[in-house]
C-alpha cells in the first residue's frame, strides 16, 4: 500500500501545482519541492528497512560488511545527488544542478576508493 500512497501523493502534488501554473508559478515550484521532499523522506524510511534485510543477509554468509557499507554509501550519495539536482533543475537553476551532479560523482569516486585500492592490491598479488 505504500506505493499507492506515494503515487497518490505525487498525483495530488502535480494537480495542485498545475492549479498555480498560470498564476503564481512560484507556488507551483514550492509545492513540487515539498512533495518531492515528502516522497524522498518515505524512500529513506524504506531504505532503512532494506539495509537491515541486506545486513542480515550479509551476516548469514559471514561477510565483514565493509563492502556492503561502501555500497550503501555510494547508493545514498547517488540518490541524494540525483534528487537535489532534479529539484534545482525544476526550479530553473541548471548550472547549480550540474555542479551538484559533479560533486556527487566526485563523492562516489572518493567513497569507492577503498574498493579500488583493494582491487589493485589483489591484482598486484596475482602478478607476483
pLDDT tens digits along 72-98: 889 889 988 998 888 888 878 888 889
pLDDT tens digits along 18-64: 888 777 878 888 888 888 888 888 887 887 777 777 777 767 666 56
This prediction has a pTM of 0.64
Cell of 59: 551476516
Q: Give me the chain's average pLDDT, please.
A: 82
**Residue 65's pLDDT band (boundaries 50, 70, 90)?**
low
pLDDT at 103 over 90: yes
Amino acid at each position: 500500500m505504500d506505493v499507492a500512497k506515494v503515487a497518490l501523493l505525487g498525483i495530488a502534488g502535480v494537480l495542485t501545482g498545475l492549479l498555480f501554473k498560470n498564476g503564481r508559478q512560484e507556488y507551483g515550484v514550492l509545492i513540487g519541492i515539498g512533495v518531492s521532499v515528502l516522497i524522498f523522506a518515505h524512500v529513506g524510511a524504506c531504505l532503512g528497512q532494506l539495509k537491515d534485510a541486506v545486513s542480515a543477509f550479509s551476516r548469514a554468509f559471514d561477510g565483514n560488511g565493509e563492502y556492503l557499507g561502501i555500497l550503501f554509501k555510494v547508493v545514498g550519495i547517488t540518490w541524494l545527488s540525483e534528487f537535489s539536482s532534479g529539484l534545482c533543475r525544476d526550479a530553473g537553476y541548471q548550472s547549480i544542478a550540474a555542479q551538484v551532479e559533479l560533486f556527487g560523482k566526485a563523492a562516489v569516486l572518493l567513497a569507492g576508493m577503498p574498493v579500488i585500492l583493494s582491487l589493485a592490491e589483489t591484482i598486484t598479488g596475482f602478478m607476483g
